[in-house]
Amino acid sequence: MSTNEGFNLDLLDQWVGEQEFKVEREQTIAYAKATNDPIAAHLDGTLAPPVFAVVPVTAIMADATMGVVPDELMMRILHGEHDFRIHRPIEPGELLTVRAKPIGIEGKESGVVVTTLIETRSDRGDLVNEQYFIGFFRGGKFDGTVGVKSPEHSFDASLRDTDPTFSAVQTFDADQTFRYSEPAGDPMPIHLDDEFARAMGLPGIIIHGLCTIAFTSHALLSQVSPDDPARLKRLAVRMSKPALPKETISSNFWSTGAGRYAFETAGDEKPGKFVITDGLAEFA
């Protein structure tokens, strides 16, 4: 029997309906606090943090991504990569319409990669952001590649031979996943139930991948544009290893010109552990 049996390939490149999301100021502020965000415009509810962009799309993103894989793989998903294309920040009070479609499936030695494209539009009629979500299904089997991959954002390894433009050291709180779960709308048990996480082959509760991305976003904004977070136009990362509660992460950022920064983020759980690789940020 083909290892591709059970995959719903006919769903590729098909939009999964549309959903509406009313942006409440209290939720954007809660999200900023849950990710230890120090940016004033995020904490006072003027603008939503950049990674909050995933909150309105979480349900439809999951439907589109999991809809193409066999049922037995659904709970084995990990956040592989994410690429935010930010046309403007989300603003509290606006009504958003979101839609998503799976655009590619690829078999890897250790699992299956599904790439999903998501669009967010405002009731003003403009395109607010686009996102590429890459879900990695551990232990899945798929022969070959169907559809398309997300845009490249690979890291130039020669940068490691130079001094970073700036660095950041951040530590996750012991209760970070519990504080993050509600404002993010992400109740996945691998982030909240230690026994369940271990049953899934993990070392225990892990930090939400998007929470880790949020930490790097405000590390960037704090250095590059703390008073004008709307300048951030792209944030793309590969999630290498999950971070853990109370773990300290260290990020190095290199300016590569024209408002672009390459970065990677190491954890301290064991030597050589990276939680984010192939990081790319672009500022207007």
CA distance 172 to 246: 5
Q: Which of 84, 78, 76 is nearest to 150 (CA)?
A: 84
* DSSP assigned state of 216: H
Q: What is the pLDDT of residue 2?
A: 56
> How confident is the chain (284 residues) per 10-residue block, as mean pLDDT?
79 94 97 98 98 96 93 82 97 98 94 96 96 91 90 94 98 97 90 92 92 97 97 96 95 97 92 92 98
List all residues 6 or more positions away from 57 whose beta carbon is below 8 Å from its beta carbon. Answer: 98, 100, 118, 120, 131
At 89 the pLDDT is: 98
pTM over 0.85: yes
The full set of domains in the chain, from first to last, is 9-283 (3.10.129.10)
* Res 1: pLDDT: 44
Q: Rounded to the nearest 5°, which phi and psi values hold at 141? A: -125, 130
Question: Phi and psi dihedrals of 252, rounded to 5?
Answer: -115, 135
Here the tokens at position 282 are 């672009």
What is the helix, strand, coil percentage profile of the chain, to 5? 30, 35, 40
* 28: CB partners within 8 A, 6+ apart: 42, 45, 47, 48, 49, 52, 90, 92
